Structure 1
């Protein structure tokens, strides 16, 4: 992101009495393509338990402006989304200092199995469109734990156990004779 600079000089004078260039004003500014940035640019949760503990991931929101900026954070589709975003604990707005950064926490708590996508929107104060968006994706899964130890099943293991028992009985019988 390359900043662009501009310089403008204003000169004021009077016609009567004629005085040219009485007041000079010099305006200088820098513009950037984007004020806010987010790192990493997207988040992905591989597999999380359905209705389990919400899993948090953190990104860094950076302000490249020379002035502090108030930003508002929200989900693009907040109703029914397993994703939630917050800054400062539970608030949805924060002031980012000039040339500074703040952490942004995104939570994923799936309520059904399967892949889910969403988008965290980060807007500057009084803006109608997001300055930056953060794509989020996660997979919910059901865990079905069964078992509790070792077991032997199938015809092969039962046959082997029966054969060993008969062999043991046969060897005891031969010793007695």
Structure 2
């Protein structure tokens, strides 16, 4: 997806290392908003560690050129030698002030578009009670394939998978 033009609405562009802190802050705010809690510095630290561990695909959503990210996704490509060629969508976040405008769907579509050349499928995990996220994924073709636990928190998760067209 090309760089956004002023006034053209949100654009999804590759993120940079300089945006790691802003993305970690955004994730922390979004989780606090979702859970009705105060932002947790330990969550922010986990996100920063994940952002600092290549290889990964970081995409940011900007409301307009020059603005701070209003959303981001972080994907991990298939591991070398992985016969399933499965990528992992580690984070998809949208600032709570920008939700409900279709921007999360746009960010997800751009992420999948970028992964489609490198992976046959993508997996992700979501909290069982995160109805909004589950509705987004299910409405875009993802299917629940099992249960798991989040690496950082140990909380229960629902594992989703989406098969991609590598054409």
- TM (norm. structure 1) is 0.23
**Relative CO higher for 1 or 2, CA cutoff 8 Å, sep ≥ 6?**
1
Q: Kindly indicate which of the two structures has a greater share of residues assigned to helix.
A: 2
Greater strand share, structure number: 1
Structure with greater Cα Rg: 1
Give the TM-score normalised by the residue count of structure 2: 0.24
